[in-house]
Chain A
């Protein structure tokens, strides 16, 4: 095979190099080899030398893990490590969640609402305050007030932990290049790891329930605040730092008087992202026994009660959007009402008094959480609507689902699981080499062998097939929509807020409409993954094309390019960086969602994680979790291309 043939300017590839030097052609050849290998293996009746990965090592590995788990369960109350550390943390966090929950309860529902609305007004103006009011309204009227307060308490606890560790880490990384270099791979790794893969190790240490959920959520939500704080400090005008140093500032003075104040806005945006990640993880953590809204969805989905899931989903969507708007407004300060400096204290005091008065009134009427019998049940009507939709389009969607399953998913899955395992490993390595060079090739082969050694080869290949199909769909749709968005300003104006809202939603809620349309199985998981991963892809394609220098477009115009020529010869090649990033992001998001699809019957690795959790089979659960990480690593590095090797 020839040297990987990707020249720095994608547009210049070809011309005298021949089609076989192009990476997409090489990739096609490699895939053809895989299919041929599958066919040979099948006609030979799947001999043992050409079958799936031998499971011996994996089985003993799982048994070993199960042994560890048994040991931990036995010694959880004896081992000093648990006795004096993990159990304390666990109890502490558990009581923190309970305490906050009780505090919210003590404020009564009127008090919480008054506090929330008033602080939203102060931070983000009256529009957001109305949004917050509506959110509390949804909490109350859906009868999910208490669940919402539990979720809120969990979010507060975990965000607090995340910031407690994240801000100092970010500051250190912002000030020390060496520290930043060491931290970065860890953060990268955390960000490509699908949320589901986080669950098990923490359950191992903290047991099932709110404490583990709080820790997992904190860890999951940590990367953005660290990254963005570091970035914000780095981006502070070097001139300002130099000038203040030249006046004799101590490093501490530079940090507190220059860097932090100037980086404040950006840091707040990082905190906003951390909060949003916390919101999505808190919902997922219901799988390991965290209470709250996530649990409500989880229960409803497992009963395929779309109406109930919709109610809880609505509450979460409102919560996510309100949280995003409030914290985002604190960050960019755009809509913060202007209060003159001398009035600030009186306004604060007045607000506090108002809240206090509401609480006193609330308590004197013996209010607590929102009374359940005041709730408006929308589950039944939603279910009715859902049934109506199903009877109207159900035939079409289920036919579509079946078709996808039979003609796309199943064959692909068969090729991957039915081919000799070593051929699949070789194909992965070859693809890695074509798209990323030697290091990526080694890493790709390594991840596949690891997946095999873990003993979950078949399930992993099945998951991979789902990911591949969903990714192709996502990218095809995303590029088309992104190009349209970049060419039509009206469409862009309409689409942008929709994408904004979609990106703030926790992935969990995407399962609800998917189930409503496609029922249970792999297809709804696939649909959810596509919808979930689509917004960032569309956005990156659009940004990339719009970011093409106007000069280049003008020059191409002046030479008489057609619109199509402009797109294919100028805009897309010049937007290559964004497109590659879109592919990368799309695939990683698809993976995390496909795995979560286990909750709606997508099976495979995700199911093993959930099953392992439910059945206390740590070996299976952890091996599946690690296999997810392996797949994630492979897909990420493969699509990062040369960027990784440059870094």
Chain B
């Protein structure tokens, strides 16, 4: 399990085109932290390690790349080490071992001065509990990052006002954090992070403390800002729906390890193991899987004059088209034909969804193995998963 998880095969590792490159990152808490990595204990499970050394493994041999402009979501349950992981990226928590490259620069090697410089200019973070200063006005909270790097008052206030406007809090400049609702406070947190114009935004479960409706608003806000400002983001969450909504790619973490890294479709469609499958079993596949995911070559003698869709269309939007047409839909991108999706394909995808939910999927698959030749390969334990295949 400790082998680094490779990127999806269709993404060659181009060293220059990576914002964050994390390799073999470990974080072990406790007195004997240095007695775990590189020893025989390295491969033991968490409980054994704690029993033998008293140390707690929070992050275990994690490797991944974050590409410029993408939202990279790390998802896991509480205690999976995801919050520790994101803090290691700017050494708010000092990693035990491993390498972190930010734009090719080794973060581990950075001196105190340089590290502060990185935090002040390149990477900004948004926190679950906001971390605002209750004694300062909103505008001074937002301007904090500029203030500590010595930007003059007039200039930093101008920038802060812009940011406050951008997150939709115009007019609240002189309020104090205590006077705002949780959602508004998190907007302040977001504005504070954006004010320093960082290249990368780190989100540590930023919306977990918010009510569901406000959470949805804030998620839309992040997507909007992401599109407008073209930032790279690492986003931690324990909410799969949130991960699927925001993530360009999702890393699923369990007991400190990355179990699977992939696009939302890959995670839902080809879970790397039973844990991920179980995790994603509640997801309505029709809202995640896209035409691209299901498309295939045309069968011989099949009609090919169905309606056409973009490859990124999710199944739930393909369904009405199929309902009104006997022919499979054509998947086209910029006028180029990529493949077809027929009623059977969609039905199968939905069936997997329904049956899995009832826990009867395996049995049915066996019964219908001949009818559904692909099903076995696509169940939760499929060999064809694009990830987890080592090196």
A: which residues have CB within 8 A of B? 237, 239-250, 253, 257-258, 261-262, 264
In the bound complex, do residue A261 and residue B135 qualify as a contact, i.e. CB atoms below 8 Å apart? Answer: yes
The segment out of B4-12, B42-50, B98-106, B142-150 that lies at the interface is: B142-150
**B133 an interface residue at 8 Å Cβ cutoff?**
yes
Known: A248-B145, A253-B148. A243 touches B116 (CB 8 A): no
Query: What 1/0 mask marks residues of chain B from 326 to 344 whose CB sits below 8 Å from any chain A CB?
Result: 0000000000000000000
Task: State the Cβ distance, B55 to closest chain A Cβ, in Å.
Answer: 19
Task: State the Cβ distance, A370 to closest chain B Cβ, in Å.
Answer: 42
The segment out of B120-128, B160-168, B351-359, B368-376 that lies at the interface is: B120-128
In the bound complex, do residue B131 and residue A237 qualify as a contact, i.e. CB atoms below 8 Å apart? Answer: yes
In the bound complex, do residue B119 and residue A243 qualify as a contact, i.e. CB atoms below 8 Å apart? Answer: no
Interface of chain B, main secondary structure: mixed
In the bound complex, do residue A246 and residue B124 qualify as a contact, i.e. CB atoms below 8 Å apart? Answer: yes
Option from B128, B133, B149, B202 in Cβ contact (under 8 Å) with A248: B149
In the complex, number of A-B residue pairs with CB atoms less than 8 Å apart: 74
Instruction: Using A247-B119, A262-B134 as known contacts, list a sample of 16 further A-B pairs with CB atoms less than 8 Å apart, ordered by residue number in A.
Output: A237-B129, A239-B131, A240-B132, A242-B127, A242-B131, A243-B192, A244-B148, A246-B124, A248-B117, A248-B121, A248-B148, A248-B149, A250-B148, A257-B133, A257-B147, A262-B133
Q: What is the CA–CA distance of A613 and B119 in the complex, to the nearest angstrom?
A: 61
**B196 an interface residue at 8 Å Cβ cutoff?**
yes
**B92 an interface residue at 8 Å Cβ cutoff?**
yes
In the bound complex, do residue B192 and residue A247 qualify as a contact, i.e. CB atoms below 8 Å apart? Answer: yes
Q: What is the CA–CA distance of A252 and B135 in the complex, to the nearest angstrom?
A: 18
Q: Which residue of B lies closest to A258 (CB)?
A: B133
Q: Which residue of A lies closest to B198 (CB)?
A: A247
Q: List the A side residues contacting B232 at CB < 8 Å.
A: none
Task: State the Cβ distance, B233 to closest chain A Cβ, in Å.
Answer: 14
Task: State the Cβ distance, A512 to closest chain B Cβ, in Å.
Answer: 44
**B130 an interface residue at 8 Å Cβ cutoff?**
yes
Q: List the A side residues contacting B125 at CB < 8 Å.
A: 243, 246-247
Task: State the Cβ distance, A104 to closest chain B Cβ, in Å.
Answer: 35
In the bound complex, do residue B148 and residue A239 qualify as a contact, i.e. CB atoms below 8 Å apart? Answer: no
Q: Which residue of A lies closest to B115 (CB)?
A: A248
The list of the 5 closest CB pairs from A to B, nearest first, reads A243-B131, A248-B120, A248-B119, A239-B131, A247-B145
Q: List 11 A-B contacts (CB under 8 A).
A: A239-B128, A243-B131, A246-B92, A246-B123, A246-B124, A247-B124, A247-B193, A248-B119, A250-B148, A257-B133, A262-B135
In the bound complex, do residue B130 and residue A246 qualify as a contact, i.e. CB atoms below 8 Å apart? Answer: no
Task: State the Cβ distance, B147 to closest chain A Cβ, in Å.
Answer: 8
Q: Which residue of A lies closest to B133 (CB)?
A: A240
Option from B127, B130, B148, B189 in Cβ contact (under 8 Å) with A249: B148
Q: List the A side residues contacting B127 at CB < 8 Å.
A: 239, 242-243, 246
In the bound complex, do residue B148 and residue A257 qualify as a contact, i.e. CB atoms below 8 Å apart? Answer: yes
From 233 to 255 in chain B, residues with beta carbon under 8 angstroms from any chain A beta carbon are: none
Option from A242, A245, A247 in Cβ contact (under 8 Å) with B196: A247
In the bound complex, do residue A244 and residue B133 qualify as a contact, i.e. CB atoms below 8 Å apart? Answer: yes
In the bound complex, do residue B133 and residue A250 qualify as a contact, i.e. CB atoms below 8 Å apart? Answer: no
Q: What is the CA–CA distance of A239 and B136 in the complex, to the nearest angstrom?
A: 15
Task: State the Cβ distance, A258 to closest chain B Cβ, in Å.
Answer: 6
In the bound complex, do residue B92 and residue A244 qualify as a contact, i.e. CB atoms below 8 Å apart? Answer: no
Q: List the A side residues contacting B134 at CB < 8 Å.
A: 237, 240, 262
In the bound complex, do residue B119 and residue A239 qualify as a contact, i.e. CB atoms below 8 Å apart? Answer: no
**B63 an interface residue at 8 Å Cβ cutoff?**
no
Q: List the A side residues contacting B145 at CB < 8 Å.
A: 247-248
Q: List the A side residues contacting B128 at CB < 8 Å.
A: 239
From 76 to 133 in chain B, residues with beta carbon under 8 angstroms from any chain A beta carbon are: 87, 90, 92, 116-121, 123-125, 127-133
Task: State the Cβ distance, A317 to closest chain B Cβ, in Å.
Answer: 36
Q: What is the CA–CA distance of A600 and B134 in the complex, to the nearest angstrom?
A: 52
* Most chain B beta-carbon neighbours within 10 Å: one of A243, A245, A257: A243
Q: What is the CA–CA distance of A44 and B379 in the complex, to the nearest angstrom?
A: 95
Q: What is the CA–CA distance of A257 and B248 in the complex, to the nearest angstrom?
A: 37
Q: What is the CA–CA distance of A249 and B147 in the complex, to the nearest angstrom?
A: 10
In the bound complex, do residue B144 and residue A246 qualify as a contact, i.e. CB atoms below 8 Å apart? Answer: no
Q: List the A side residues contacting B149 at CB < 8 Å.
A: 248
Option from B129, B130, B135, B144 in Cβ contact (under 8 Å) with A247: B144
Q: List the A side residues contacting B147 at CB < 8 Å.
A: 257
In the bound complex, do residue A239 and residue B130 qualify as a contact, i.e. CB atoms below 8 Å apart? Answer: yes
Q: List the A side residues contacting B90 at CB < 8 Å.
A: 246
* Most chain A beta-carbon neighbours within 10 Å: one of B147, B148, B193, B202: B148
In the bound complex, do residue A250 and residue B131 qualify as a contact, i.e. CB atoms below 8 Å apart? Answer: no
* Most chain B beta-carbon neighbours within 10 Å: one of A257, A261, A264: A257
Q: What is the CA–CA distance of A257 and B124 in the complex, to the nearest angstrom?
A: 18
Q: Which residue of B lies closest to A264 (CB)?
A: B135
Q: What is the CA–CA distance of A253 and B148 in the complex, to the nearest angstrom?
A: 7
Q: What is the CA–CA distance of A247 and B202 in the complex, to the nearest angstrom?
A: 11
Q: List the B side residues contacting A237 at CB < 8 Å.
A: 129, 131, 134
Q: Which residue of B lies closest to A265 (CB)?
A: B135
In the bound complex, do residue B133 and residue A247 qualify as a contact, i.e. CB atoms below 8 Å apart? Answer: no
Task: State the Cβ distance, A262 to closest chain B Cβ, in Å.
Answer: 6
Q: Which residue of B lies closest to A251 (CB)?
A: B112
Q: What is the CA–CA distance of A261 and B140 in the complex, to the nearest angstrom?
A: 13
Q: Which residue of A lies closest to B119 (CB)?
A: A248
Task: State the Cβ distance, B187 to closest chain A Cβ, in Å.
Answer: 15
Q: What is the CA–CA distance of A243 and B130 in the complex, to the nearest angstrom?
A: 8
Q: What is the CA–CA distance of A500 and B189 in the complex, to the nearest angstrom?
A: 42
* Most chain B beta-carbon neighbours within 10 Å: one of A241, A248, A253, A262: A248
